Chain A
Amino acid sequence: MVSVRSVYTQPSSLTFSDLPWIIQHREDRCTLCGQCTAVCPKQAIYLTYRRQRMPKLDILQKKRGNEYRHFVGIRQHTAIDKMCIGCGMCSSVCPNEAIGPVPNSNEHRSRFHMDEKGDAWKRGGRRNVPGKTILDRIAFDRISMLTDPALDAGRHEFSLNTILGRVLPPEEFLRRQLAGEWIPPTREIFPFVIGSMSFGALSPNMWLGLLQGVAYCNEVLGIPVVMATGEGGCPPWVLRSPFLKYIILQIASGYFGWDEIIRAIPEMQCDPAAIEIKYGQGAKPGDGGLLMWFKVSKLIARLRGVPEGVDLPSPPVHQTLYSIEESVMKMIQTMSMAFGFRVPVYPKISGSTSAKSVLNNLVRNPYAGALLIDGIDGGTGAAYNVSMDATGHPIASNLRECYLELVAQGRQNEIPLFAAGGVGKNGNVTQNGMALIMLGASGVHVGKYIMQACAGCLGNEMGRCNVCNTGICPKGITSQNPKLYRRLDPDDVAQRVADVFSSIRIEMKKIMAPLGRSQSLPIGMSDALGIDDADAAERLGIKYIC
């Protein structure tokens, strides 16, 4: 036994088997090109010289001895700040498939040491819960077979769009029409919306690529996709461009970027698609937006009207409020007025057992244009791990109970409900979205799936990558460092946006055709849904199938 002092150890000393990802390196394939170490966003690996003892026994000479072989190897840092995140950039650049991270099936002792320097663990990404979600398990089981000629998803015409904005009861619409009174603005949009990801959270190239793709979907493919900005404003050239009509501008509790927006109003060529007032988000309910200092570049600082390189934590609540009712009323009316009552204004809240009371409040507010509920599986650019993992409400039952509340009042879809939080989390974006629509959503907001599908985001539910907060995104999606975001070509992102929405459109038809639906989006068509879990079926008011 060696003396304790000669072994370097302290409470946070870890070895590679304590980490969630272990680098496997094959020396026999490595050409020592060094690309892996250069590309690693965490500097988790380094090239090092190593010595290997080769025991030597010469029986005839009756001599024992050693020989030493020297070689160059890759080693993994075990310090928390340089811990491998499993992004796999090393293997993607390796010319010889000599290196790559593998998930460590051992329990992760590193988890106990993520709070170094006294700050709780902050990260970007998602709520790392792998496996099928409730939405993934929902099947569309009401197939029209007996009396009806089946619809042809490939050849028939389908009406897939939804309405964003306040829908009046028919009697009231006719009364106002006759009296020449104000009729709330509505937008006919594609029900899959690119969810709010801020200019600041996303790199300029990512943002540009998304916008290009959205414009292409609208103007060439005829799919009226809209995207939401998130907090942090909108690039000034976009505000003054005809593309603004594809954008939902978000105002959140930090009001970042709104100086620019208000100044641009007189010069706007068209109205924005809508205004989203963020009261909460699914990934971190009760917490404001957070842009960490790493990402507050010169451009972002200018756009947000703040100094460079400082943390930008938005307050958890809006500063105007005495009560949520007052805040919602004041803000919705103010924003409606700012845009001449021509733009739908709606709040976004986190999934919560109190969502129903917010909804009932909105029903009585004649200016409220929709309600977006973001469930616990929503993603974020930066949040405390505990908020992301353990705070919030799953979207399915929350959305469903809100919809049924409106049904009970005979006012379903007057306030269109939009759902978000985990749509497409396991890749089943259309299936997840359509399940939510049939549970009562008028549409869904999708963020993480868009980043993964359109820009190659590496994050997954196994805790892979999840470093959006520190600006070291290895794909250049959530970084403000030009060296990183130049990796991402906006044209390629735009191409993928077009691919993704084209395929969602096809899949929607493939879901709707067997159900015999083509004339309108099957909002609230809960008779078409079944799930293999009796409790979930009861909670959601759909069929239990097995």
Chain B
Amino acid sequence: MCRLALKTADIPFSPYEVLTGMEAMQEGYDGSGLGLLLRGVSFADFNYKKEEHLILSGIAHSEAAFQRLHKHMEERGFEQEYDHQFKVNSALIEAKDRYQYIVRVYKKPQGLSVAELEDRLMQARLFLRKDGEQHGGDLTVFSFWSDVIMIKEVGWPLEIGDALGLNDDRIKARVVMAQGRQNTNYGINLYACHPFFIQGIATMTNGENTAFVPIKEWLEGKRIPGYMGYQSDSEVFAHILHYVTKKLNLPLACYKHVITPLKTEELNKHPQGEFLKGLRTACRRLIIDGPNAVIGTLPDESCLLVMDQKKMRPATVGGRPGAWAIASEMCGVEALIPDRDPSLDFQPMREHTVIIPPDRKELLIWSQFDPFTLSQAA
């Protein structure tokens, strides 16, 4: 089984903390991979500013790939400002073809609208990914965005942290998502490690999504750039969240209504039942299935947690004003934020969406049975 841990705090902390939280839940994974996503990033060796800088994350598996990456980024007009060098202990890394772990900071191009910039960043990421695939997979690119670092590697989570020297406090972040992944359906592939990322939106999941193939086919049919890859059945969770919030411009609360809609009998009693029934019909191809806890983060550093419709996966959220943790097991939350009141920990049920807003003052627990403000329709 997979184990998930997320910590969000006002004061930036080392990602290694989250890996120790993962270690507390170690009985639950097989060490086949680790994915880490960091937001609200700060570097010890560089004065990073979200408004001015972009970060590219990935792995170059050969010198040639590394050179090509450099060339492509220059050609696309991205000016490099900082190249973070991990102090790598390669003895602790299973794979032997890692030439360079890439966390590079670029200057944000000026004079573009938000949408234009977002598109350009995604196009650049997709181009580099494709370039890597065309060269026998020698270049893997996880994210290219403002304020986001992603690290993915095969192996035991804490060992990977040690191998990359993540405990040296040279990188810190306000939000860290981590997933220890058991390889379930598909072959071991770096792109198949959670979290999944698209235009600032990231999710990670445990359990499998049994409705994967029809959802994937539908998303691919939309021909929206970036709706591709799908090395993992969980990748669609990130893309659905992207589709709901960025393409349909619906509030975050609607995500739950799209992926696990209420039953007709329940909607008949819901104040917005008529609209929600229509939404369920229009988005019925995005209904997920299987036991899942979906943990997501957004560019404004909000975090969310939703459960599958039958609440067949565990997940707990706990914390105190200023620091919150979401983990698949209670011991994970305990390890991440020991100085909280555990009696206030919350385990969402099938109807809940837990949102930790960017101010991190309190949890929002929203139920599907409650009405929500819908600016657009209803």
A residues within 8 Å of B by Cβ?
144, 146-149, 151, 156-157, 159, 161, 163, 167-174, 177-178, 183, 186, 188, 407-413, 515-520, 522-527
Contact = CB atoms under 8 A, between A and B. Distances in A.
B281 A407 contact: no
B210 interface: yes
B289 A518 contact: yes
A171 B288 CA distance: 19
B247 interface: yes
Contacts of B263: 157, 159
B46 interface: no
A344 to B, nearest CB: 12
Interface in B85-100: none
B212 interface: yes
Given A410-B220, A412-B217, 8 more contacts: A147-B184, A147-B206, A170-B248, A516-B208, A518-B289, A518-B309, A519-B260, A520-B289
A509 to B, nearest CB: 14
Contact of B1 (A147, A157, A527): A147
Contacts of A156: 310
B279 A173 contact: yes
Interface of B, secondary structure class, is loop
Given A409-B221, A410-B220, A410-B221, A148 B376 contact: no
Contacts of B282: 167-170, 172-174
A388 to B, nearest CB: 34
Contact of A411 (B213, B221, B377): B221
A16 B105 CA distance: 92
A406 to B, nearest CB: 8
B311 to A, nearest CB: 11
12 contacts: A147-B208, A148-B207, A148-B210, A151-B310, A163-B284, A170-B248, A177-B278, A410-B218, A515-B210, A517-B289, A520-B211, A520-B284
Interface of B: 1-2, 182, 184, 206-208, 210-214, 217-218, 220-223, 243, 247-248, 250, 260, 263-264, 275, 278-279, 281-285, 287-291, 309-310, 312, 376-378
A409 B218 CA distance: 9
A412 B184 contact: no
B243 to A, nearest CB: 8
Nearest to B292: A148
Contact of B309 (A188, A519, A527): A519
A-B pairs with the 7 shortest C-beta distances? A410-B221, A516-B210, A173-B282, A524-B214, A520-B287, A177-B377, A527-B213
B291 A519 contact: no
Contacts of B281: 163, 167, 173, 186
A517 B211 contact: yes
B208 A148 contact: yes
A146 B290 CA distance: 12
A412 B210 contact: no
B291 to A, nearest CB: 5
B274 to A, nearest CB: 10
Nearest to A144: B210
A522 B214 contact: yes
A36 to B, nearest CB: 53
Contacts of B285: 412-413
B290 A174 contact: no
Contacts of B264: 161, 188
B278 A148 contact: no
B31 to A, nearest CB: 15
A515 B290 CA distance: 9
Contacts of B2: 147
A149 B221 contact: no
A171 B263 CA distance: 22
A194 B239 CA distance: 38
Contacts of A163: 281, 284
Contacts of B289: 516-520, 522
A410 B260 CA distance: 21
Contacts of B248: 170-171, 174
Contacts of A188: 264
A172 B247 CA distance: 12
A409 B1 CA distance: 36
A148 B243 CA distance: 27
Contacts of B250: 174
Contacts of A186: 281
Given A174-B248, A516-B208, A527-B213, A148 B220 contact: no
B112 to A, nearest CB: 24
B291 A407 contact: no
Nearest to B283: A170
A174 B278 CA distance: 9
A6 to B, nearest CB: 74
B308 to A, nearest CB: 8
Contact of A178 (B260, B288, B377): B377
Contact of A524 (B217, B222, B283, B376): B217
A472 B376 CA distance: 62
Given A183-B278, A186-B281, A527-B212, A174 B221 contact: no
A167 B221 CA distance: 16
A517 B210 contact: yes
A88 B273 CA distance: 55
Nearest to B223: A410
A72 to B, nearest CB: 65
B291 A148 contact: yes
Contacts of A527: 212-213
